[in-house]
Amino acid sequence: MPNHSSTYQPEPGQGVRSAAEEKMMSVGDDKKAKGWLGSEQRRLLIQEYGIFLAFLILVAVLSVSNEFFLTAGNISNVLLQTSINGVLAIGMTFVILTRGIDLSVGSVVALAGIVSASFVTSSATAGISGAPYPVALGIGIGLLVGIACGAVSGLIVSRFSVPAFVATLGMLSAARGLTLIYGGGRPVPALTPAFRWIGTGDVFGIPAPVIILAIVFAVSWWILNRTRFGRYIYAVGGNPHAARTSGINITRIQFVVYVISGGLAGFAGMLLSARTGSALPQAGIAYELDAIAAVVIGGTSLSGGVGRVTGTLIGALIIGVMNNGLDLMGIQSYYQQVLKGALIVGAVMLDQKRNYGA
């Protein structure tokens, strides 16, 4: 009869570890698992804070390269340049989190800018009858134009299941055409000082566009991190089928994020017009590329469901700082486009590696 109570005998060559060996291996495993310099910990740290580190390195390099970079006037200029793209990029973040894309924001910038400007101009030929109207009316009209454009794109994407790339590409062309039709291909000059304040004014020395960007960022952060709607956005982007099974109205979520993107694009168009003093029909060309670049560089996944509006803000700052620094060093804008394209491709490659492994 086999003796079931006999002690276990190791296989030949297997051996039996001593208590000291077991303790040493346990300590080694613990260090490997918990050491902050472990490969997994480094990966998580880079994934979480890599964008902030990249921004700090860029600022440090440009500070050493040019003595004027860290001056108060230049910092204010960088923030002003970033404000418009930052507002656009925050709206784009909502869309990309749901696996969408909005290529129309540049054209919506132009359309909302020129329509709102026609209500607040003192020009007898460029404004509509009775202009200038109160600033609140002009801003409200510009927001409605942006929201309407976003609603059309959102309706096409959510209700008719048209790919977002196609729907927003069509809106890009349509909004640009409407801009030229509305303004007759001519700019709208002589905007009232009250309207121009949102682009050129300041509060306690802080430029108004920077304050507006901070407000947009704070509200967007609260929506995405503290509301049920924000959780639904991440759920729709992470797994649409599971979100639908859970009872989330995917159609409504998709529609609303395009409305948000369109509304913020309309507001960015008014900021641009107020800052330059006139609304130009060619305004906003290629702005959608800068917005997408800021979102992707900031760590938001094009596959949806992953990303933070904080990263988007840092991404917009990186683009603004990079452009400003290259200008200060006398490097032509053509090289800036090349570098920006390389940053976009590199960010997408990192995103793909993070999602699907090496």
Where does the chain show beta strands of DSSP type E?
202-203, 206-207
SS3 (DSSP) at 16 = coil
Question: What does the alpha-carbon distance between residue 197 and residue 194 come to, in Å, rounded to a whole number?
Answer: 5
Domain for residue 48, yes or no? no
Question: What does the alpha-carbon distance between residue 71 and residue 326 come to, in Å, rounded to a whole number?
Answer: 16
CA angle 37, 41, 44 (to 5 degrees): 140
The mean pLDDT value of the chain amounts to 88
pLDDT tens, residue by residue, 86-121 = 999 999 999 999 999 999 999 999 999 999 999 999
CATH of the domain at 330: 1.10.3470
CA 318 to chain centroid: 12
Residues 6+ apart with CB under 8 A from 180: 281
CA angle 261, 263, 266 (to 5 degrees): 110
SS3 (DSSP) at 202 = strand
SS3 (DSSP) at 296 = helix
Give the residue from 310, 320, 307 showing the smallest Cα distance to 355. 307
Is the pLDDT assigned to residue 232 strictly greater than 60? yes
pLDDT tens, residue by residue, 295-348 = 999 999 999 999 999 999 999 999 999 989 988 888 887 887 888 788 888 877
- pLDDT for position 15: 45
Question: What does the alpha-carbon distance between residue 86 and residue 74 come to, in Å, rounded to a whole number?
Answer: 18
Report how many domains make up the chain.
Answer: 1
Give the other-Cβ count within 10 Å of 124's Cβ.
Answer: 8
Domain for residue 334, yes or no? yes
Domain for residue 45, yes or no? no
Domain for residue 65, yes or no? no
Question: What does the alpha-carbon distance between residue 11 and residue 89 come to, in Å, rounded to a whole number?
Answer: 63
Give the residue from 47, 38, 39, 86 showing the smallest Cα distance to 291. 86
Domain for residue 262, yes or no? yes
Mean pLDDT of 8-37: 47
Question: What does the alpha-carbon distance between residue 225 and residue 223 come to, in Å, rounded to a whole number?
Answer: 6
- pLDDT for position 158: 97
Domain for residue 170, yes or no? yes
Please give the residue range of the domain that contains residue 232.
73-353
pLDDT tens, residue by residue, 121-154 = 999 899 999 999 999 999 999 999 999 999 999 9
pLDDT tens, residue by residue, 164-219 = 999 999 999 999 999 999 999 999 999 999 999 999 999 999 999 999 999 999 99
**Sign of dihedral through CA atoms 92, 80, 337, 339?**
negative
Domain for residue 54, yes or no? no
Is the pLDDT assigned to residue 29 strictly greater than 60? no
In this prediction the pTM is 0.86
- pLDDT for position 10: 45
pLDDT band, residue 12 (cuts 50/70/90): very low
- pLDDT for position 39: 65
pLDDT band, residue 356 (cuts 50/70/90): low
Amino acid at 256: V
Question: What does the alpha-carbon distance between residue 80 and residue 9 come to, in Å, rounded to a whole number?
Answer: 75
Q: What separation in angstroms does the CA of 199 have from each of 3, 119, 204, 268, 336?
A: 89, 16, 15, 10, 25
